[in-house]
Copies of this chain bind each other. A is one copy, B any other.
Amino acid sequence: MHPNDPRLRTFVDVDAASDFPIQNLPYGVFSMPEQPELRVGVAIGSQILDLAVLESAGLIRCDEVRGVFAKPSLNAFMALGPKVWSQTRGRISELLRHDNPELRDNADLRMRALVPRNRAQMHMPIRVAGFTDFYSSKEHATNVGTMFRDKANPLLPNWLHIPIGYNGRASTVVVSGTPIRRPRGQLKPPTAELPNFGPCKRLDFELEIGVVIGQGSAMGEMLTERQAEEMIFGFTLLNDWSARDIQQWEYVPLGPFQAKAFGTSISPWVVTREALEPFRVHGPAQDPKPLPYLRQTQPNNYDIRLEVDLRTEKMAKSARICRTNFKYMYWSSVQQLVHHASSGCAMNVGDLLGSGTISGPEKAEHGSMLELSWNGTTPLEIDGGERRSFLEDGDSLRIRGWCQGDGYRVGFGEVEGSIVAVE
């Protein structure tokens, strides 16, 4: 059976609502209190399958290359290429099947290879080579354009032709759970004559999907749709924390810089492209027709349900503030990658592409506080009597995402971050 087959079962206990059934098998990097070396594992139910242990035991091997799982990032494994990714996932699926005794009946190995997720410390799954952030939701770009530019013509002339993107800062991409310190920066309120330097007052999140590039391309090389697709290893949730007031003052003419440089959070589990195959969908119709280098012959979007929860310091439990879907994206990840390399830009193993803020057509589907509060003009009323235009110190923001199968889900887990006051 193919590792995506809905009929597959595993001998590991997996709750029906789990993000991590045997049809998923996402990769992450973890350590345990009693074993602090970072290594690669796969999430299965409430457990982690330790691939370094499996490799030592001779149950798994990658393309004759040894030790790719006893590493602090997925980069070495990703570098082996899509055939190895697929073979490895197939072998892991086989080892976890309910009717395969290899691991199931080896009590000693099972004990060492399957560890409880709730005791593990998760780390950055990849060493980020470069981080690029796109701007590919038409609804989001339209909302921003309507607020700040021209209601009648909210999209700039290039938007429908180019998957607009910019280089972000790789050094501050962090794993879920890392606290985010409120950034300082130059702020110039519209009424002030001169800028001042101080804590950001309009701190925001951006709900995004992160695309993990697992294969490089040479300088000067263009990519076809097929080549680009095969370079994509997998996907994460991504929160592109943003300082709207710093951005507003700094961004002309060279784009956002410090407004986006203080932190970007990703979920620890990389869901493979292969696991998302059953959830492929066509994106929105593209009109005007993209230039030939950007044309698609297949559905390159994915039906990924996304939710954002906010919990302030005063709230006993979190409240839902957004529910949307990755399928709305106008430009697909494949188009983004083809465009990224189009000038001759080399891509590297470990590059991370942010999809851009994912907003849907309805107000409750907006993927940022900027849109949810309409630039602070209609503060969000949160369950429990709190109101928010932007994020305040102590706020915790949590993004979840999953694909709904028939009786199971292929999930991403979550990316969480809490705002820490700046002294």
Contact = CB atoms under 8 A, between A and B. Distances in A.
Interface of A: 129-130, 135, 156, 158, 161-162, 164-172, 174, 181, 183-186, 188, 194-197, 219-220, 222, 243, 246, 249-259, 261-263, 288, 291-293, 339-340, 342-348, 351
A165 B343 contact: no
21 contacts: A129-B171, A158-B252, A165-B254, A165-B257, A166-B254, A167-B167, A167-B169, A169-B345, A171-B351, A172-B345, A184-B343, A194-B288, A197-B291, A197-B292, A220-B262, A243-B343, A246-B343, A251-B253, A261-B340, A262-B343, A262-B344
Given A158-B249, A186-B161, A171 B255 contact: no
Contacts of A344: 172, 181, 183-184, 261-263
A167 B262 contact: no
Q: Determine how many copies of this chain the complex contains.
A: 2
Contacts of A165: 254, 257
A130 B170 contact: yes
B257 A167 contact: yes
Contacts of A183: 343-344
Given A164-B253, A166-B166, A174-B219, 15 more contacts: A135-B254, A158-B252, A166-B167, A166-B254, A167-B169, A167-B257, A169-B345, A171-B351, A181-B219, A181-B344, A186-B291, A197-B293, A258-B340, A261-B344, A263-B344
Nearest to A133: B254
A174 B219 CA distance: 10
Contacts of A166: 166-167, 254-255, 257
A166 B247 CA distance: 12
Nearest to A195: B161
A20 B383 CA distance: 69
B168 A167 contact: yes
A264 to B, nearest CB: 11
A115 B250 CA distance: 48
Nearest to A179: B220
Contacts of A343: 183-185, 243, 246, 258-259, 261-262
A220 B181 contact: yes
A189 to B, nearest CB: 13
Contacts of A222: 184
Contact of A156 (B169, B174, B188, B252): B252
B257 A195 contact: no
Contacts of A181: 219-220, 344
A38 to B, nearest CB: 19
Given A161-B186, A291-B196, A292-B197, A172 B254 contact: no
A257 B343 CA distance: 9
A196 B293 CA distance: 10
A344 B242 CA distance: 12
